[in-house]
Amino acid sequence: MRIGIASGKGGTGKTTVATNLARTAVRRGRRVAYLDCDVEEPNGQIYLRPEIAWRRPVTLPVPVVDPGRCDGCGACGEICRFSAIVCVAGKVLVFPRLCHSCGGCSRVCPVDAIGEDLREVGVVSGGQEGKLAYRQGLLNVGEAMSPPLIRAVRAVEPVADLVVVDAPPGTSCAAVEALRGCDRVLLVTEPTPFARHDLELALDTVAQLGIPAEVVVNRAGRDGARTLALCERYGVEIVAELPDRRSIAEASSRGELAVEIDPEFEEWFQRLLAHLEDRR
Amino acid sequence: MRQIVVVSGKGGTGKTSVVASFAALAERPVLVDCDVDAADLHLVVQPTLVSRQDFIGGVRAAIDPERCNDCGECAELCRFGAIVGPAGERRIDPMACEGCGVCAWFCPAAAIDLVDRVDGEWYLSETRFGPLVHARLRPAGESSGKLVSLLRDRARSIAAARALDTVLVDGSPGIGCPVIASVTGADVVLVVTEPTLSGLHDLERVVCLTRHFGIPTLVAVNRWDVNEENTRRIEDTATRLGAAPAGRIRLDPAVTEAQIEGLPVVELTGNGAAGDIERVWRRVDWSSSVGRVLR
Amino acid sequence: MKIAVSSTGPSVDAACDERFGRCACFVIAESDGTVLGSVDNPNATQGHGAGIQAARLVADLGVSVVLTGRCGPNASDTLAAAGVSVVVGCTGTVGEALASYSAERGPSG
């Protein structure tokens, strides 16, 4: 079973839910794969503390021009819709950071002057700790495109009873890339106006993807009725409500998991896991 | 004209609450919500909508079944797996299509067109603090970097046309494409972070980014009292990386209460977190007018 | 020799646009100050790569010098490859930028 953990808004506790769920499943004897697809800020490792056993660069093909062959016709600049290759004054310039790796320029070149080279955009890494297999992607600073890196993390998914995909926050292409192929999605929210507004966007997104969704309310407290009303309007169930506890916030700030310090949280996550497995 | 951009690295650090208070503290700012994935600023500045326009993020391919001779070349050429369906029923998966146009260029039957892709809407509104430029990206909408560039561009034009001196930007979270578009050309960037290990981790990444672009950078720690040791580590790290601490904002339920009331917290109270934010604003205000930060 | 000034409008009285890639238009003039006309910059609202396309636009117009406020690295590289030189930090109106450029180059220019 592959569960995507997502949220419209960042900071609602998406990684908290993902890591606590993963740890709970490991403690219940499941083989768990944790895929940290929040490649701009992968933080799962802070809480799960896996030993990273391997790292692999993630590369994308980018054009390389052979000036000896190039006759400056400019066809490459015409086909490129991203300004990654441009012909000025008979010279061809390549801007690798803008390249989407579509391969159009090398194919269109009439004199076969364009080859491809590999450019590193980030690193995918992994490790095993007991029954937990951890995989993460880390986007290089200054890089604009996270979907290829997310695909690279998804490509090294190990066999497991439960795959937890920590998706990037928001509803953009990156979040969609991470959630594609998940059996269900848990949307993590808080009972605040900001989080509720963003939850609605996330509910629209998962509906468009056709993935069944359920909601986890983190830091539950006042103003919860409106979150419930929103979920009812979308016909989506709230499967867990985690209370706002300063002790948990403090533990979390030190990189500790709620299920490791608070028996009540442990029980709630066991129940959440049982619920997810029931639904399978 | 000065451009102040507030970013956060990781989401949920309270960036938008800080921006809303800055909106109330600044003198007639132009507000821009560049957190286009999860735009929330409008919830606390109560805008009146003036205009609404489609945002065309790019193009996507569309196969015309009439002209298609089913040769399959497009599926072979596409590197994004966007040509789906069996022979005879090939179509474009709009969510996978990158809009590169390679399939359309090489289709021997000229059966593929590139059509504009509406990725969202953008709005111009008025608030009691000043004009607001904001947007809503469609689910799975792409080109958020382009949308951010568009919003900032419109804000600059409005500021120039109305002789307003300050553009205040609620930036995007993370360090990817929309954030780069949020911070380029800023006079000063304020990073609002929180005293968690993830806050620290993400702060390093976002400060590396702003320093990469040579932008003076300030760092404020929100809810600092949750972990004072991490707060110190964050401030030390910020200083080491060439940014400057801008102050600490305490954990205060008034911030959420203000959000529920639909108000900037500095309009609800002058004490607690509101007072802290006001002090952070004074440093940001001064730094942006002189274009540098002091340690 | 032709000069392109990044501008907020099509005349010499318009203010210089400090941005190169996303300026509203370019005013094109001869080095003696004679204005040849202006060209809208279709790249103003492009996402990434606006500077590169704007650089190509002025290079294709046979411009030798660009006067602008700021110019990013991608645009600078493209202009350099095309043999176009760039003067940054221009302020005031297009006319003033042209005048101060000729004054700095001296009468021989």
- Give residue-wise pLDDT tens across range A107-123: 999 999 999 999 999 99
- The token pair at A56 is 């692999």
Q: Give B202's pLDDT tier (boundaries 50, 70, 90).
A: confident
The per-residue pLDDT for B94 is 85
Locate C60 and state its tokens.
């294709």
- Which residue segment(s) compose the domain that B236 sits in? 2-46+127-290
Class level of CATH domain A2-58+141-279: alpha beta
Backbone phi and psi for residue A279, each to the nearest 5 degrees, phi listed first: -75, -15
Cβ separation of B12 and A11 shorter than 8 Å?
A: yes
Any B CB within 8 A of C48 CB: yes
Check CB contact under 8 Å for A141 and B209.
yes
Nearest CA in chain A to C55: A88
Q: Mean pLDDT: which of A98-112, B208-222, C31-45 is highest? A: A98-112
Q: Do B146 and C48 touch (CB under 8 A)?
A: yes
A62 forms bridges with which residues in the sheet? A117
Q: Are residues B224 and B248 in the same domain?
A: yes
The closest CB to that of C48, out of B145, B150, B185, belongs to B145
| Coil, helix or strand at residue B271 | coil
Query: Which of the residue ranges A121-125, B168-172, C48-52, C75-79 would you say has the lowest mean pLDDT?
Result: C48-52
Percentage of chain C exceeding pLDDT 90: 66
CATH code: domain of residue B37 = 3.40.50.300
- Rounded to the nearest 10 degrees, the angle between the axes of helix A193-209 and helix A224-234 is 20
pLDDT of residue A22: 98
Q: How far is A212 from chain B (nearest CA, A)?
A: 16
Number of domains chain B is built from: 2
Which residues, 6+ apart, have CB-to-CB distance to B5 below 8 Å?
B34, B169, B171, B182, B183, B186, B188, B189, B190
Cβ contacts below 8 Å, chain B against chain C, sum to 23
Same domain assignment for residues B136 and B114: no
Q: What mean pLDDT is reported for chain B?
A: 91
What's the domain count of chain C? 1
Q: What is the CATH number of domain A67-112?
A: 3.30.70.20
Q: Which of A179, A182, A168, A185 is nearest to A234 (CA)?
A: A185
pLDDT over threshold 80, residue B175: no
Query: Are both B201 and B248 inside the same structural domain?
Result: yes
Question: What pLDDT shows up at residue B199?
Answer: 87
User: Which sequence spans correspond to the domains of chain A?
Assistant: 2-58+141-279, 67-112
Q: Minimal Cα–Cα distance from A191 to chain B, Å?
A: 10
Q: Which of residues A193 and B178 earns the better pLDDT score? A: A193
Going by pLDDT thresholds of 50, 70 and 90, the confidence category of residue B179 is confident
Strands (E) located in A84-156: 85-88, 91-94, 114-129, 132-139
- The candidate with the shortest Cα–Cα distance to B233, out of A116, C94, A255, A190, is A255
Query: pLDDT value at position A146?
Result: 87
Show which of B93, B118, B143 is a domain's final residue: B118
Q: From CA B137, how far away is CA B118, in angstroms rounded?
A: 9
B9 and B139 assigned to the same domain: yes
Tell whether B51 is covered by a domain. Answer: no
Phi, psi at residue B62, to the nearest 5°?
Answer: -140, 125
- Chain B, window 266-285: residues with a beta carbon less than 8 angstroms from a chain A beta carbon: none
Cα of C31 to nearest chain A Cα, Å: 21
Q: Encode pLDDT of B129-142 as tens digits.
A: 999 999 998 877 76
pLDDT tens readout for residues A35-71:
999 998 899 999 999 999 999 999 999 999 999 999 9
Q: Mean pLDDT in chain C?
A: 90
Q: A93 and C48 in contact by Cβ < 8 A?
A: no
pLDDT for the residue numbered A11: 84
CATH of the domain at C100: 3.30.420.130
Share of chain A above pLDDT 70, in %: 100
Query: Taking CB atoms and an 8 Å limit, are A169 and B13 in contact across chains?
Result: no
C-alpha distance from residue A27 to each of A21, A61, A184, A255, C98 (Å): 10, 42, 22, 18, 73
Report CB contact under 8 Å: A41, B175: yes
User: For residue A209, which amino acid is it?
Assistant: L
Question: Which residue from A3, A2, A9 is spatially nearest to A168, judged by alpha carbons?
Answer: A9
ipTM given for this complex: 0.86
The predicted-structure confidence for B106-127, as pLDDT tens digits, reads as follows 999 999 999 998 989 999 999 9
Contact predicate A180/A159, CB 8 Å: no
Residue A33: predicted pLDDT: 98
Average the pLDDT over B223-234 and give the result: 95
Q: State how far residue C93 is from chain A, nearest Cα, in angstroms.
A: 29
Answer whether B153 sits within 8 Å of C70, measured CB to CB: no
Same domain, B102 and B163: no
Q: Please state the rounded mean pLDDT for residues A5-18.
A: 91
Judging contacts by C-beta atoms under 8 Å, the chain A residues touching residue B77 are 103, 107
Predicted pLDDT of residue B293:
72
Are C45 and B149 a contacting pair at CB < 8 A?
A: yes
Mean pLDDT of A249-268: 94
Q: Does C73 lie at the interface with B, CB-CB under 8 angstroms?
A: no
Task: Classify residue B53: in a domain, yes or no.
Answer: no
What pLDDT score was predicted for residue B24?
97
Residue B212 and residue B142 share a domain: yes
Contact B176 A40 (CB under 8 A): yes
Q: Same domain, yes or no, for B231 and B180?
A: yes
**What's the CA gap between A248 and A17, in Å, rounded?**
12
β-bridge pairing B83-84 and B91-92: antiparallel
Closest residue on chain A to B261 (Cα): A193
Based on the domain organization, do B67 and B158 belong to the same domain? no
Give residue-wise pLDDT tens across range B39-67.
Answer: 899 999 999 999 999 999 889 999 999 99
Q: How many CB atoms lie within 10 A of CB C43?
A: 21
What local confidence, expressed as pLDDT, does residue B115 receive? 95
> How much is the mean pLDDT over chain A?
93
pLDDT band at C109 (very low <50, low <70, confident <90, very high): very low
Do both B102 and B245 map to the same domain? no
Residue range of the domain that includes C48: 2-105
* Contact criterion met (CB < 8 Å) for A40 and B205: yes
To the nearest whole Å, the CA of B110 is away from the closest chain C CA by 27
Residue type for A108, please?
V
Does residue A83 belong to the interface with chain C, where contact is any CB pair within 8 Å? yes
